[in-house]
Structure 1
Amino acid sequence: MNAIEPKTRSYRGLRGWPPQVVLLVTFACFYFAIGPGNFFAVDEVMQEETAQALILRHTIDIPLMVDARFGRARNWYTVKGPGLPMVSLPFVYFGLKLDDALGSMNGGRLAGPPVGPTQQPLRWSGRLAISASLIVNALAGGAIVAVLFMVGAQLSPNRRAALLMAIAAGLATLVMSEATHFYQHELDALMVLLAFWFFSREKTEELDSVALLGGASLGVAILARPDAVPASVIIWLYGAAVAWKVTRELPDRTSRMIRRTLLAAAGPIGAVAGSMYFNYLRFGSVLQFGYTEDRARFVLDVAQIAKAITGYLLSPGLSVFLFAPPLILVLAVGRKAYRRWPLETTTLTSAAVAHLLMIASNKTWSGDLSYGPRYMVESIVLLMPLTLPAFEMAVERAPRRAALAVATVMFLGFMVQIVGVSVSVSANEVKRIAAGIAANNAWVFVPGASPIVYDLEDLAARRNLSPWAFRALAIPDLALLLLIVLAAIVVFGGWLIFLYSKAPQGEPAQLNSRALPIAIVSAAVIPIVIGFALSRPLNQAPDAHAYALINAGLAAQRAGHAVAAEEDYALVLSLDPSNKFACFDLGVMEQDAGRINEAILLYQEALRQDPNFLPPKNNLEYIMRTRFGFPNLHPR
């Protein structure tokens, strides 16, 4: 028997596993396994809180926290867009059910210790609803790797080079570190890239469907982050150019182009309308986006823009070449990419530059709390296909130094990402503030303040370590079992990917299938539609709303729905910080969860509001007697 025959049979047996699906699942599991397991920043808390509000109350009001905005009916709302919280609705719903079933209000090994904004005693992470919602970014990161492979395979006949390019993006660029967090950048980058893939299809019979799906992808990107608009416009124009080329020999070219234009415009127009409705729900005005602070404004300041561009290209704090080393290959092979794919190279470069200019116009262009240039994830992802000629040379080892160069940038990039995911990114901001270099993006050009330097210091000191895997390994429980399952999936997926890389250069199974891209678009669009269908404006007067929330919290507490109850009490305290009933009821929940110190503080706050309020007084006496050995305490 020929020695190659068993390998061929093994490969054929795996043809039912499309490589793009394997890439998505493998990388998504890898990202979730190395992630923090809980929120570390208020941006992320607001996203999950907004999704939770839609599920529990069909409104979008959230408890008071840093960066929340005062809006309709004197309530507080997220300043972020509607894209990510609505896309995460199924996962937050699942997490809430797990919370009710397993009682995770007090946190756990997966979620980590209770931490969060300090001005609300309730705003901790450590609930399964939060951990479940982090799956969204892991899936978005895995989907980016899968779609990059599909884009690469569409541009180049060398499937191995396309596969290696996608893997490099997933392991050696900010796609990896950002996929462990809950920001909007992964979703934004994914949907813009996916729109490019749809629009690059050149089959006449697919013209209408790819126009609709590509436009829907751009719509989701805009809902995720409004600064996706410049790149979206360029990708949309690219789609129009491809459609014009495809229909040049058809007699009904004009009618087809009109239909294509309308279909491709539906997504972006719907996104603009959705964003305006979201503004109305929050602030009562379709044109109020909540970015009222001067530091959040976009300005046409040439000096600032030049400084920002310099920072993103050359600085130790934000350089895309430092935090995504594979982009160095664009400089080496960009001309070759343009000669082979002039329209695609022009489109991807223009979209990346447009996004850079948009971000550079923001006064907080550094991204503040960040590990590297997180605002530039979209540009990084868009530029990665232009590195394909370098990966082709590396695969073919012609010349051999190309393989060495590719291996070097991949190794450096992977090490940079490992450093980034190992340490809580919030620690960087604390150090910048302590050093007095946080204001006006001053830290960006200070070599000693580079996130890589800060994180290496923390790693050496074994402090601020982020991955929940460390906690799972420390104390065996269900989290450790989950970690083992995720590791098994990653190992199996890696083996499949290795087999694909060794397979004959014939087209792998279902590589040109639109099933996965359509599934990705549907998974994003359907929850958004459901979210807007659930949404209703909050018109109750604050006193009436607080009264209704107290009653709802009591009902949820008695029913054993701890997370829903604590949300209601947190909202009451946002409306009325001196509400003694919310403080007491919340204290009871803290006490039941074993968080005695937090319960004491809440009982004391209730007594400050009303020294004659007996329930917290009695509970405090019970705690002092049973926990700390004090004799019976009598009121004076």
Structure 2
Amino acid sequence: MNVQGQDPSKELRPIFGLPAIALFLAVCLIYLAFLKPGIWGLDGTDMLHMSRSLIEKGNFSIPEGAGGIQGPDGQFYSIRYPLLPVMATPFVWVGLTVGNALNLPLQYTAGTCGLVLNILLTAATAVLVYGLTLRLGGQRRGAFVAALGYAFGTTALVYAREFFAEPLLGFIITLCLYVAFGTTRWEHWCTGLLAALAIAAKPAGILLGPIVAFYFLLKRYSWERVLAPCIGTVVGVGLYLAYNYVRFGSFTSSGQDTSQLGFDGFLLRALGQWISPGSGGGMFWYCPPTLLALGGLWVLWQRRKLEFVALGGIVAAFWLLHSGWAFNGWNWGPRFLVPIIPALMVAVGLLGKRWHMPAVGLIILGFLVNAPTLVVYYQRYFAELADESTAILMQTVSLWDAPPAQAPIFNLWAAAGRQLADAFSTPVQEIFSNVGAPPPPGQLVTSELLRIVAVWWWFLPVAGIPTWIGIAIALLMVSLGLWLLRYSWQTGLNPPIRLKSTQIDF
């Protein structure tokens, strides 16, 4: 396999110049054209409640009956994580302000605006994939393919439209790797701050600091640089313990069921997260471009062994950690591995030119796999199973118990058709009038958000604005986004780059 050497023009063109800015804006515009009109699901709703409570009451409590655990102060608290709700407060505040001004349901307007944060984070992560690929010696063409693949060919497309912590953790990890692979002291010191924030984003982020510190040690950097991510990890742990104490009056109580952590079923989960199409697994099914990451990691090993240890260590550590967690839930693909998808796509970006077209083909396949989630909630399929049979639902949310034909990946297109049929046969004003009303027992699919077109412009008639105006705006946003992608591609590769060629056997 031919792999091109480093681009000598990088000294003249900054990594984060106009091509990167255009890429960021393009991803944002295309994602925002399909912004969801609200949050559906326990995890996201919990964190939205936390953001609202920070604004309205100045604490992390959630409403009684919302699934939280009662603390010693009598209030109820979620078992979720603090950083995303804290960062989302400005967005949620805008949603509350708009909802109050237009007399719209606050849970919709606050949720819709809160979802903008994960869109921005995912777009920024795509840019970091671009930058990190270049920093590791990749070509601009490969870096662009990797960034495009991350944004549109993996489950990043899905989770950018959910209010979960994984996109935030993925952004922090990718940024930390980028600055860790830099050369300046301030970049290396920044890894300490990012190591602390990773834990606040999600406790699994505790893996980040030690791996970066080990990389610095192997690079024989000065001790203050080696200690920076270690100190950040200690500070992050301390802050999270304090967060536990605020909620539950105990430093060690997080509300999580630790009995799910163990080695029973470890090997099956380790394998299933990559190849099982079942709920919570199937990286290669739901994110087809990552199939090429193995070749990219080999290239990285040939070029920069120490950087391979850091990037590959992050991938392996998160994979093994979640292989020890007996997870089940309404997941679209390997949700817990979303934070390492950027690292995998960076590896794809390091492959030579002959691999770019296969990568593009896999990106298109990945887009088709995840595309239904642009207009519906992927939870619709799980809700249909819940209405049919609890036993069938529990079988489906497992990695290996359900037959492959029952996996979400093979059923969402049909479920999306049923949700869209409901949407076109139900006046949006009727759904608006029943906001917050719980569905009857055994009829979960009648929840208001599971029988709409899951985009913001579907609700415009409620505000007296015709739907076609929203569709026109969305089409304009997508068109401008595609134009910016083209501009990013052409600007990043023009004028032609003269490269020195090296050979790496694969």
Instruction: Name the TM-score class by shorter chain.
Output: 0.7 to 0.9
5 Å-filtered alignment, 1:286-305, equals 286-292=251-257, 294=259, 297-301=260-264, 304-305=265-266
Structure 2 partner of 1:142: 123
Distance, in Å, in 2 between the alignment partners of 1:414 and 1:329 is: 16
Structure 2 partner of 1:415: 368
Give 2:206's aligned amino acid.
V
Structure 2 partner of 1:372: 333
Distance, in Å, in 1 between the alignment partners of 2:16 and 2:312 is: 35
5 Å-filtered alignment, 1:211-250, equals 211-242=188-219, 244=220
Q: How far 1:94 moved relative to its partner?
A: 1.8
Deviations 1:70-93 (A, max 9, x none): 212222101101111111111112
Is 1:385 the counterpart of 2:343 in the alignment? no
Q: Is the 8 A contact 1:423 1:455 kept in 2?
A: no
Match of 1:424 among 377, 380, 386: 377
Q: Is the 8 A contact 1:27 1:490 kept in 2?
A: no
Distance, in Å, in 2 between the alignment partners of 1:94 and 1:220 is: 24
Is 1:155 the counterpart of 2:110 in the alignment? no
Change (3 A) 1:425 1:33: same
495-504 vs 69-78, greater mean Cα deviation: 495-504
Higher relative contact order (CA 8 A, sep 6+): 2
Q: Unaligned regions of 5+ residues in structure 1, if any?
A: 1-11, 108-124, 248-256, 509-636
Is 1:458 the counterpart of 2:415 in the alignment? yes
Deviations 1:380-410 (A, max 9, x none): 22211111243x31xxxx4xxx344223211
Q: Unaligned regions of 5+ residues in structure 2, if any?
A: 1-11, 423-449, 497-506
SS in 2 for 1:79: coil
Match of 2:294 among 323, 327, 331: 331
Distance, in Å, in 2 between the alignment partners of 1:75 and 1:503 is: 54
Distance, in Å, in 2 between the alignment partners of 1:383 and 1:27 is: 19
Deviations 1:256-292 (A, max 9, x none): x233244434432332122111111111111111114
Q: Is the 8 A contact 2:72 2:249 kept in 1?
A: yes
Distance, in Å, in 2 between the alignment partners of 1:164 and 1:83 is: 30
Q: Is the 8 A contact 1:30 1:487 kept in 2?
A: no
Is 1:495 the counterpart of 2:483 in the alignment? yes
Deviations 1:423-463 (A, max 9, x none): 31222333444341443776433212211222112133335
- TM-score, structure 2 as length reference: 0.81
Is 1:348 the counterpart of 2:311 in the alignment? yes
Q: Is the 8 A contact 1:43 1:183 kept in 2?
A: yes
5 Å-filtered alignment, 1:507-546, equals none
Q: How far 1:359 moved relative to its partner?
A: 1.0
Is 1:51 the counterpart of 2:58 in the alignment? no
Structure 2 partner of 1:90: 90
C-alpha RMSD of matched pairs (Å) = 2.9
Q: How far 1:214 moved relative to its partner?
A: 2.0
Structure 1 partner of 2:233: 268
Q: Is the 8 A contact 1:345 1:386 kept in 2?
A: no
Q: How far 1:331 moved relative to its partner?
A: 3.0
- TM-score, structure 1 as length reference: 0.65
SS in 2 for 1:101: helix
Distance, in Å, in 2 between the alignment partners of 1:313 and 1:362 is: 15
How many residue pairs align between the two structures? 447
Change (3 A) 1:506 1:405: closer
Deviations 1:279-309 (A, max 9, x none): 1111111111111474xx31232xx111111
Percent identity, please.
Answer: 21
Structure 2 partner of 1:29: 29
Give 1:388's aligned amino acid.
G
SS in 2 for 1:276: helix
Q: Is the 8 A contact 1:192 1:235 kept in 2?
A: no
Q: How far 1:477 moved relative to its partner?
A: 1.9
Distance, in Å, in 2 between the alignment partners of 1:440 and 1:71 is: 34
Change (3 A) 1:486 1:241: farther
Give 1:369's aligned amino acid.
W
SS in 1 for 2:61: coil
- Which protein has the larger Cα radius of gyration, Structure 1 or Structure 2? 1
Structure 1 partner of 2:149: 168
Q: Is the 8 A contact 1:84 1:224 kept in 2?
A: yes
Q: Is the 8 A contact 1:37 1:134 kept in 2?
A: no
Q: Is the 8 A contact 1:42 1:65 kept in 2?
A: no
Give 2:234's aligned amino acid.
I
SS in 1 for 2:252: coil
Distance, in Å, in 1 between the alignment partners of 2:308 and 2:466 is: 48
Q: Is the 8 A contact 2:61 2:75 kept in 1?
A: yes
Q: Is the 8 A contact 2:212 2:229 kept in 1?
A: no
Match of 1:322 among 279, 285, 300: 285
Is 1:191 the counterpart of 2:172 in the alignment? yes
Give 1:409's aligned amino acid.
L
Q: Is the 8 A contact 2:19 2:487 kept in 1?
A: no
